[in-house]
Structures are given as C-alpha cells and as structure tokens.
A and B are shown apart, each in its own frame.
Chain A
Amino acid sequence: MATITLDTVRKVYAGDVEAVKGVSIDIADSEFIVLVGPSGCGKSTLLRMIAGLEDITTGEIKIGDRLVNKVDPADRDIAMVFQNYALYPHMSVYNNLAYGLKNRGMAKEEIDRRVKEAARILEIGDYLDRKPRALSGGQRQRVAMGRAIVREPAAFLFDEPLSNLDAKLRVQMRVEIKRLQQSLGTTSVYVTHDQLEAMTLADRLVVLNGGNIEQIGAPIEVYDKPASTFVASFIGSPAMNLLNVKADGDGLSLENGAGLSGSNAKGKDSYIVGIRPEHLQVVDGPSSGDGVNLEVSVDVLEPVGAESFVYASFPDGGPEIVVRVSSHARHEPGEKMHLHADAKDVHFFDSSTGRRID
C-alpha cells in the first residue's frame, strides 16, 4: 500500500499530439481514485503512465516515496486489470494467477497459499484448472481481479474493467470491486468513461477533459458543485440543463428572450446557468419566486420506473429542458408547464470560460 503522486505529468506523442497536459494528483494511501472523462481525454494514457506501459514525457510519478519514471513495469509493485482481461490464453486459471509470482522467484507454498486465498475471495476455486476460453465473461473478470490480488501490490490500476460485461453483471462486479477494495485497503486508480461507475466507486473523482483536469473532488462534491460546464454536463444523468442567459439590469433573461426570471446577483453581462433536472419543480402557475422561473411545453415523457423525465422546450426554440418528475405524474405532449428552481440550486458559469462562478 502506498501513496501515488503525479507532478505535472505530460504525455506528448509523436507528431506533437499532447494527450496529457501537465496533470498533478496526490493520491492518498488506500484511496480509491476514479479517472473519468470522455474518450480521448487522456485518462487511459495517464493510467498507463502510472503502470509504466507508456513513457512519461515530462513530470514525475512517485509510488510511495520512490520516483518510478524510469522503473520497469514489473518493478513498480502495481497490478493492472485490463478492459479485455488480458488473461494468458494458454495457461490455466491457476497459472494465470501464479505466473507473476513465479517470475519473482516466490516459494511454491507461498504461491499456492496466495492463489488459493484469492480464489476463495473471488469464488473461482472451482475453475482453477480451466483455461480462460472455458470461462464466461464474468468469470474471466474475476480471474483478472485475482491476478491483481495475488500480487498484494502497492496499487491496483483498473482500465475500464467492466465495459465488456453486460449491464447486470456490471452492476454486480462494481459492488464487488468496491467491497474488495475496502476490505484490502489497497490504493486504487480506476479509469472509466461511465459517470455512474465513477460516482459509485470513487473516494475522489478526477474529471479529465482534453488532457487537463477539470475537477478533483468527492463524487457528491463534484455533483453538487461542478467546477465547469463540462463537469456539469458530464457528471449526472440526465445531464444538467445549461442555459445561456444575459443580464437585463437586475434581472436575467434567456438569450432568445423566452421567459426566465431571476436576479442577477453576480454582476456580469452574460452567464451560463445550470439547473439539475431534479431541482426543477413543476408549479401551478407563473411563479415569481426567487431563483429561476421558466415556462416550457412538454415534448416527451420518459418513465424509467422510480421516476420519470420530461423533455420540454421553449415556445420559440432554444435549449431542451429536462425535468425530473414523480413516476405518477401525467404530462401530455404540448402541455404548458411552469417550472421553478430555488436560487440555491442554480449554478452560474462564466459564459466564455465555462468556469463556475460562486
């Protein structure tokens, strides 16, 4: 177990493609860090640099107190779980788990003890003699996890390990990974593009965009106070409603002039205003309460069981608005709807930089 320190780490590929642009993260011992972002944001590259599978162009990576920039992957005391599991197809499950330990010259009895222990934890004891091809996706996933566990490494690195599983299995394995990490207390870095996976697993989230860190924080902190419009739209499903508004004296109005009321407390000419779907309340008539008031017409009602989402639009165009309503609410397409959001639930972002304004 160890801390991992990234200090202004950059990765530049041939042809001057800058995949990671000076990223610094301090990962505490036993912490579960999730790197999340859209494809091409540099999250996998960053993970692979920690693993030693990619060179570090500039900057420093430390595992514990040891600078590992030039250390061979096998000597970094890390274990990695790959997206496609990367099991050795010609070896039995037992040997898949034992291979790394054998190469370190570990005693046979100790290898056997560790493999049996990992097999017990992951419930793969019955398959130890099988080859990976004779296993299902979920079982392969467990073997890949087992291969990481037996090494008892300083850190686990996960590269989208659940994206090849079906939805049901994914949820199950997600919980299992969390439980395992909590009981082992091993520092973990987990890469995913799935914001739900990121939210549920992370002690702290690192939201990446275009090789830069957009925000680092606890999942709920990131959800409650997104640092930029990018984070606001990436974390949370459905995404936060973002509206371009301009200041109109003391008040605010939508750019296309549609009804929107609220007070301009921040003293700028224009903003992007963000409201989560669950913070929009359906009210009976035109509201003039403090906060944001909208008048929209219903386009589509999308029931998902525990709740429903209304997709609505302004009479004269403009952005689509998503509202969370109770699953029993009835809204017909074309129906007029008055919405209100309390001032405390309205996020303001700079309209040119997209950064949060508090």
Chain B
Amino acid sequence: MVPYMLLLPQLAIVTIFFLWPAAEAIQSSFYLEDPFGFGSTFVGLDNFTDMLTSTDYGRVARFTAVFTFFVTFLSLGFALLLAVKADKVLRGASTYKTLLMWVYAVAPPVAGLIGVLLFDQHVGPMVDLFAMFGWKMQIGVNYFDTSFAMIVTAVWKQIPVNFIFFLSGLQGISKSVQEAASIDCRSGFRRFWTVTFPLLAPTGFFLLIINITYAFFDTFGIVDVIVKNEPGNNPVTLVYKVYLDGFRGNDLGGSSAQSVILMALVFILTIIQFRLIERRVHYT
C-alpha cells in the first residue's frame, strides 16, 4: 500500500493536468458546443471532417510542416556548428559557452518579444539590416516576412538547448578515438563526417525528436507575440490555431478535434523516440 501512497502525488498531477483535460478534449471533439456554454449537441465525426476538408486547416498544417522543418534543421545545424567550434576553443572556453547558453534562460514569450523588437517596422535592427540589401520587411503584413521572423526567432531560442546537448555529446567522444582518427585520416572535414558525426548520432536523434516537439508546441509564445491580435492572413502553427479557434472563435468542438489530432501526433512522435532510443546504440 505504501508504494501506491508514494506514487499518489505524481499520479494526481498526471490525472488532473493531463489525463482529465485530454479526456475532456476527446469528448468535446464529438460535440458542437454552444458558444455561451448553454449546452452541446453530439455531432459525431463532423468536427473532424469539417476540419480536414477546410482549406484553412490545410494551409496552417502546411505552414506548420515548413516551419517545423526549418526550425529543426536550422537550429540543429547551427548548434552543431557552434558546438564543434566551442569544443576546440581552449582559452576562455567557459565564458564562450556561457554566452552561447544564455539564451536558454529566456522564456518563449520574452524571446518572441525580443524577436518582435528586432523585427520592428520602425526600430528593428534586423529590418534595417535587411533594408540595406534592398529587402523591405513588413512583419505582420507580409506572409513571407512574418514567417521568416518567426523562424529566425524560434531557431535563435532553440540553439542553446541543442548546443548544450551537442557539446556534451562531443565531449563524451573519447579523446584517443579522435587522436586515432587524426593518425588515420588527414582531412579534418572527412574525419568529422566519418568518426565524430556517427558517434554524435544518438545525441542527434534525441535532439531531432525534441526539436520537432519544440517547433510544434513550444513556439506558441513566439507565434502569439509576433502575430498578436492580427492572425488574419498571418502564418500560425497548428497549436496556435487550436487556441484561436477555441478561445477567439469560440468553436470549442472544432478546437478539441484539432487538439485530438495533435495528441495523436505527439503519441506517434513519442513512440518513434522510444523505438529509436531502444534501437540506437549507446557507445561507451
């Protein structure tokens, strides 16, 4: 009995904050909710068919896919580059690393706010910078420009996390293995792709899943700040659309149906992650 008692607080938290809302969402995805909360009508799978046939949903899903691809790819790429360089720094290494990790402490909405300031129409230094190259950015007006700012901010926010993992992954690679490689292979570039990179692969796979999850869900704050009050023609992610339709559009049923889809997606990602972690070798 005692073990269950000890588990109870954790189970309670999981139930109240995850299982119960999830069950609520699944249930309400089959109902059409009255906007004023006076009742609901069972509509079967209508919410799902409406959602999947709507052009708007397709557009947001496509943007989310593109957004996720770029955020994941770019933040992993830059972080790996920085980690490889930081791993080679000998003097002032800790200052360098601390500076790179600093951004990790910034909360997503604050990161979004900083992004908004950087890309501000009138005072944003990024806008000024690109203007020098003849690109007149219009954040919040131009679809492409807004997407660009959103991706840059999201990437910038995520690089430190990836950097920390890649750096510790690099430092976990045996020094003598790298030395053996330097005797076996003259080209540092080739050495990286044939020895270092394969040995970083377990870290890379783990980060890939983490980053996809991040791009999908944790970028809510960034998206919210950048498109604040003007979601009209602006790019938003699926998660943001759940919020828009549910709390702005008062379509709780449709919003629930969308979140059920997202739940299934997280479920699949989690399974892939466990499969990969199980199958991937942990080199010692």
Neighbouring B residues of A78 by C-beta, 8 Å: 183
B180 within 8 A of A: yes
Q: Does A64 contact B (CB under 8 A)?
A: no
Stretch in contact with the other chain, from A29-37, A83-91, A289-297, A300-308 = A83-91
Which of A55-63, A69-77, A240-248, A253-261 contacts its partner?
A69-77
The 8 A CB mask of A132-159 against B (1 = contact, 0 = none) is 0100000000000001000000000000
Which segment, of B68-76, B171-179, B212-220, B234-242, faces chain A?
Answer: B171-179
Q: Find residues 201-215 in chain A having any chain B CB closer than 8 Å to their own CB.
A: none
Interface contact A100-B177, CB-CB below 8 Å: no
Please tell me if the beta carbons of A87 and B182 are within 8 angstroms of each other in the complex. no
Q: Which of A84-114 contact B (CB under 8 A)?
A: 84, 86-90, 99-100, 103
Question: Hey, which chain A residues are within 8 Å of B283, CB to CB?
Answer: 89-90, 133
- Choose from A73, A75, A88 the contact partner of B177 (Cβ within 8 Å): A88
Residue interface mask A170-194, B partner, CB < 8 A = 1: 0000000000000000000000000
Given known contacts A99-B194, A133-B284, A90 and B199 CB-to-CB distance under 8 angstroms: yes
Query: Contact partner of B174 among A53, A72, A84, CB < 8 A?
Result: A84
B185 within 8 A of A: yes
In angstroms, how far is the closest chain B Cβ from the Cβ of A61? Answer: 15
| Contact partner, A80, options B174, B183, B194, Cβ 8 Å | B183
* Interface status of A51 (Cβ within 8 A of chain B): yes
Minimal beta-carbon separation of B188 from chain A (angstroms): 10
Residues in chain B near residue A86, CB distance under 8 A: 174, 176-177, 179-180
Q: Does A82 lie at the interface of the complex (its beta carbon under 8 Å from any beta carbon of B)? A: yes
Chain A CB within 8 A of B129 CB: no
Q: Do residues A88 and B180 form an inter-chain contact, with CB atoms below 8 A?
A: yes
Q: Is the CB of B185 within 8 A of A99?
A: yes
Candidates A52, A84, A133, A147; contact of B176 at CB < 8 Å: A84
**Count of chain B residues with Cβ under 8 Å from any Cβ of A?**
21
A76 closest partner in B (C-beta): B183
Is there an interface contact between B281 and A74, defined as CB atoms closer than 8 Å? no
Q: Which of B178-208 contact A (CB under 8 A)?
A: 179-187, 190, 194-195, 198-199, 201
- A78 to B182 CA separation, bound complex (whole angstroms): 12
Residues of A contacting B198 in the complex (Cβ-Cβ under 8 angstroms)? 90
Q: A84-B176, A86-B177 are in contact. Are A73 and B281 (CB under 8 A)?
A: no
Please indicate the chain A residues that have their CB under 8 angstroms from the CB of B174 in the complex.
84, 86
Closest Cβ of chain A to B24, distance in Å, is: 47
Please, which residues of chain B bring their CB within 8 A of the CB of A325? Answer: none
Given contacts A89-B283, A133-B284, contact A74 B185 (CB under 8 A): yes
Is A339 part of the contact surface with B, judged by Cβ < 8 Å? no
Check A79 for interface membership: any CB of B closer than 8 A.
yes
Q: Are B186 and A72 in contact (CB under 8 A)?
A: yes
Cα–Cα, bound, A72→B201 (Å): 28
Q: Which residues of A contact B185 (CB under 8 A)?
A: 74, 99-100, 103
- Collect the chain B residues with CB atoms within 8 Å of residue A53's CB: 179, 182-183
CB atoms of A79 and B183 under 8 A apart: yes
Closest A residue to B185 by beta carbon equals A103
Q: A84-B176, A86-B176 are in contact. Are A103 and B183 (CB under 8 A)?
A: no
Assembly CA distance A147 to B179 (angstroms): 14
Report whether A100 and B183 are in contact in the complex, using a CB–CB cutoff of 8 Å. Answer: yes
CA distance A147 to B195 in the complex (A): 15
A265 to chain B, nearest CB (A): 52
B-chain residues with CB within 8 Å of residue A82 when the two chains form the complex? 176, 179-180
Task: Please indicate which of the listed interface residues B180, B195, B281, B283 has the most CB atoms of chain A within 10 Å of its own CB.
Answer: B180
Interface membership of chain A positions 308-340, coded 1 if the CB is closer than 8 angstroms to chain B and 0 otherwise: 000000000000000000000000000000000
Q: Check if B180 sits within 8 Å of A74, measured CB to CB.
A: no
Question: CB-CB < 8 A to B183: which residues of A?
Answer: 51-53, 73-74, 76, 78-80, 100
Please name 12 further chain A to chain B contacts, defined as beta carbons within 8 Å, in addition to the given A53-B179, A89-B284, sorted by A numbering.
A73-B182, A74-B183, A74-B184, A74-B186, A79-B183, A80-B179, A82-B180, A83-B176, A86-B180, A88-B180, A103-B185, A131-B281
Closest 6 CB pairs of A and B: A100-B184, A74-B186, A86-B176, A86-B180, A89-B283, A103-B185
17 example contacts (A-B, Cβ-Cβ < 8 A) are as follows: A51-B179, A51-B183, A53-B182, A73-B179, A73-B183, A74-B185, A78-B183, A82-B176, A83-B176, A86-B174, A86-B179, A88-B177, A88-B180, A90-B195, A103-B186, A103-B190, A133-B284
List residues of A whose CB falls within 8 A of some B CB.
Answer: 51-53, 72-76, 78-80, 82-84, 86-90, 99-100, 103, 131, 133, 147
